[in-house]
Structure 1
Amino acid sequence: MSIRRATFLISLTLAAISIEGKASAEPITITDQGNRVVSLKQPAARIASIPIPMASTIISMDGGTSRLVGMNPTAKSAIVEGILGKIFPEAKDIPSGITAPNFIPNVEELAATNPDLVVQWADYGANIVDPINNAGLTSLLISYGTEQKARGYQAMVATAMGKPERAEMVNGWRAEVEAAMLEKGKAIPVDKRPKVLYLGRALESLSASGNKGNYNAYSIELAGGVSASADVVGQGTTVSPEQIAEWNPDVILLNAFEAKLSISRIHDDPILSLTNAARNNKVYKMPLGGYRWDPPSQESPLSWMWLADLLHPDVFSYDLRAEMKKAYATLYGYQLTDADIDGILWIGMQGDTANYAQFKAK
């Protein structure tokens, strides 16, 4: 680990301790990702989050759950099913009835949380934003789809809490890991970059989410792969087993959103089991940590390392378990156990897949 990286991790940990409970009381102005100016008289002490990924982001940027007063039910399922429910058991009691699955707010439930700020999507029309504003609540709009947008909304919510330094350091970690991976990736020839397919849904239907320019394609390319579905139209496009067989991916990544989804979904399918990925035992389920590792989150550098070590262990060679322990101490003030890491990485389900032995406890 570089001296710069070590210094960063130490400073981030110290800053997390030193700023706890010391947010500025000055007025705050933010231009959100809907290009709206949002004004707060003081840092938001009560935040309700309708977008799925923002709940765990708020927890990590604040170092606790005290400001999160409402969240999306799918975000809550990630907490209940994942490690955050163990780290912050009180999060299981935070209301999740503030929104329907289509992100239309339940205004009555939302108002009952008495929020200083409501986070909502910027990209799905006025019908999911206007009810919030019409109820006299202050909204902050975020946009999904790229790494830069993720860094932007993490910075916005940290600023809204009066803790901009927190996002600056976390995003600094992202940028440093990204730069190091891009540099190492230069050594990987084009013909050595495996075709990787990410399936955003795989139980009742199959959807591919690696179209060119989106976050899944970005993370695959960063880790030294090529998105098998780069030419699909739109985010989460429904595909057939025959289409996947035609792509014939070398690696298949299964989403962490479907709790009952396992790698047997691919191996037991009469068509999908014929792909290079299945034949070479390179089907993996995305880890579930403080949030699911498929979309961008505060833990994204860990997901990049995980995938890079799977695709090119000879090029990247991260000590993922050590990196996870450092990151969790910083993000959540929690010391991961080996059993915790085994659960996050699904060691019990996929510990015998290709290249996965490197992630087992030594």
Structure 2
Amino acid sequence: MIWAEFLGVAALLIGCAAPLRAQASCFDDLTARQVCLDRPAERVVTIPMPSASTFIAVDGAAQRLVGMHPASKRAIDEGLLGRIFPQARAIDASIAGAGSDGFMPNVETLARLDPDIVVQWGDRGDDIVGPLRNAGLTAALLRYGTEPFARGNLTLMGDIAGKPERAKELIAWRDATIADIEKAARDIRDGRRLKVVFLQRAASGLAAAGANSYNDFCIRLVGGVNAAAELVGAGAVNAEQIAQWDPDVILLNSFEEQLAPARIYDDAILSATRAARERRVYKMPIGGYRWDPPSQESPLTWMWLADILYPGAFHFDLRAEIARAYRLLYGFSPSDSDMDEILRIRTNGDARHYERFATSATR
């Protein structure tokens, strides 16, 4: 649906793209700090979890990534990226350790890896940045959690790799997808807008995504209403609060590996929600990265969610969209079994409207 318009933009960007530059370059990170490199980085370390897969997508390879956070490694092993780029499974994941929620850089490991640049959080205090500066390492700082930041992070990875036009290409895909979704969502009447709760934690306690979260952005983009909007960011809740909201749809995070819709269906209180009664509980997919936080694959998240909430208003052929997107992002053509795994057909297959994501042979 969106690809004819997008491919015209992408072709223009590709035609204008310059070859990998060898000269020095300077660019701003997401804290407006200027970063200068003598050449496009050949040895890159990423500490924030999503940035490893984002760099691989922008660069089109995993060879230049020499270190990443252990949570990034878990996502690569659990999802499809480790099979698309097998060398990513061997990347050092011991570059961060205890302290500051596990993002304190392991300076000894970093010294051994000898990176040209280290990507670190830019909004979690100087405690996790200072050791990089004191060790004489070049750092690029990112911010996270909104769509503008997601685009900025793609731009940052393009600057680090010396491939700014590649980042523009991926941002153009986001623009085209949002425009397509917004056009259809305008026709959803207020009385038909579904209440949605995204559970950022459900296996160990309960936490919901409130206003100003990225999940709130995704829900509103496709025409839904965030039932937890009274919260700000992520907030702890109890089952009684969720039951009071009585959401039409419940989304489960992809980070809690063993979490499944049965968590809701088997709960004495949550099973009474409309979402549970109507079998509209879904675990978020995982592909090259997890689909719940912002990443290079977010347009697929938006299409998936639009199709689940309003199958009569949106008509994405999601399996075809995934195939096109993976060729764009990773130069890879996923098989039907790959797409079943991405979409969690086994986990979500008996949920309402999920048959539209199955192969024609299994519908």
- TM-score tier (shorter): over 0.9
Deviates more, 1:28-37 or 1:286-295: 28-37
Are the counterparts in 1 of residues 10 and 172 from structure 2 also a CA contact under 8 Å? Answer: no
Q: State the distance in 1 between where 2:136 and 2:143 align.
A: 22
Partner of 1:258: 256
Amino acid at match of 1:40: L
> What is the TM-score of this pair, normalised by structure 2?
0.95
Q: State the distance in 2 between where 1:15 and 1:84 align.
A: 27
Q: How does 1:1-362 map to 2 (within 5 A)?
A: 1=1, 3-8=4-9, 22-100=19-97, 101-209=101-209, 211-233=210-232, 235-362=233-360
Shift of 1:8: 4.2
Q: State the distance in 1 between where 2:155 and 2:231 align.
A: 31
User: Residues 240 and 313 of structure 1: is their aligned pair in 2 closer, same or farther, counting only changes over 3 Å?
Assistant: same
Amino acid at match of 1:261: L
Are the counterparts in 1 of residues 145 and 213 from structure 2 also a CA contact under 8 Å? Answer: yes
Q: State the distance in 2 between where 1:313 and 1:91 align.
A: 36
Are the counterparts in 1 of residues 145 and 214 from structure 2 also a CA contact under 8 Å? Answer: yes
Are the counterparts in 2 of residues 82 and 344 from structure 1 also a CA contact under 8 Å? Answer: yes
Shift of 1:10: 5.9
Give secondary structure in 1 for the equivalent of 2:105: coil
Q: Could you list the runs of 5+ residues in structure 2 that have no partner in the other structure?
A: none
Corresponding pairs, count: 356
Cα RMSD of the aligned pairs, angstroms, is: 1.6
Q: Could you list the runs of 5+ residues in structure 1 that have no partner in the other structure?
A: none
Deviates more, 1:27-36 or 1:164-173: 27-36
Q: State the distance in 2 between where 1:219 and 1:294 align.
A: 9
Give secondary structure in 1 for the equivalent of 2:181: helix
The Cα offsets for residues 228-269 of structure 1, whole Å up to 9 and x where unpaired, read as 111113x32111111111111110000111111111111111
Are the counterparts in 1 of residues 265 and 271 from structure 2 also a CA contact under 8 Å? Answer: yes
Shift of 1:350: 1.2
Amino acid at match of 1:64: A
User: Residues 334 and 10 of structure 1: is their aligned pair in 2 closer, same or farther, counting only changes over 3 Å?
Assistant: farther
Give secondary structure in 2 for the equivalent of 1:324: helix
Shift of 1:15: 6.8
Are the counterparts in 2 of residues 9 and 326 from structure 1 also a CA contact under 8 Å? Answer: no
Are the counterparts in 1 of residues 63 and 87 from structure 2 also a CA contact under 8 Å? Answer: no
The Cα offsets for residues 99-151 of structure 1, whole Å up to 9 and x where unpaired, read as 12521111111222111110011110000100011111011000112101110
> What is the TM-score of this pair, normalised by structure 1?
0.95
Are the counterparts in 2 of residues 46 and 68 from structure 1 also a CA contact under 8 Å? Answer: yes
Q: State the distance in 1 between where 2:33 and 2:277 align.
A: 50
Give secondary structure in 1 for the equivalent of 2:350: coil
Give secondary structure in 2 for the equivalent of 1:237: strand
Q: State the distance in 2 between where 1:113 and 1:360 align.
A: 43
Are the counterparts in 2 of residues 15 and 166 from structure 1 also a CA contact under 8 Å? Answer: no
